[in-house]
Amino acid sequence: MEGLSNEALTQVAAYFQALSEPTRLQILNLLRQKERNVGELAELCGYTSANISRHLALLTQRGLVARESRGNSAYYRIADTSIYRLCDLVCGNIARQFERTASSRAAFVTPVPRRARARRRRPQVLGQS
């Protein structure tokens, strides 16, 4: 990003903004397997077709997916497969951060010694011995 103009940085930020919503990431993951239409994506994501269409419009605008009309349906596919390398890089980084954080937390946890279980006595009901 070194040497980029403010306008270019704004475009880079918009690209990353397209990736900042979990539903859009889910759509990209589903399109990784094969191209799909809005109805298929809506069903698989558990959202309405209108909601998925809005996400697809933004992903198309950012150049991440491509749209192709076939009869009465529009099919979407990944336009830039390098997005998966970027996502895999970020996911790997997050996993490493999680491992470091878990290791750090583990250093502060004091192991609880196992105690002998106290024998439980049944409560006596009045009138019974």
> Which residues sit opposite 68 in a β-bridge?
75
CATH number of 6-82: 1.10.10.10
Q: Where are the domains of the chain?
A: 6-82
User: What beta strand segments (E) does the chain contain?
Assistant: 36-37, 65-70, 73-78
> In angstroms, rounded to a whole number, what is the distance separating the alpha carbons of residues 51 and 26?
13
Q: Which residue has the higher pLDDT, 99 or 45?
A: 45
Query: What is the average pLDDT score of the chain?
Result: 87
Q: Which two tokens stand for residue 9?
A: 């940085």
pLDDT tens digits along 40-98: 999 999 999 999 999 999 999 999 999 999 999 999 999 989 999 998 999 898 998 98
| Nearest residue to 65 (alpha-carbon basis) of 92, 48, 84 | 84
| N-terminal to C-terminal alpha carbon distance within the chain | 83
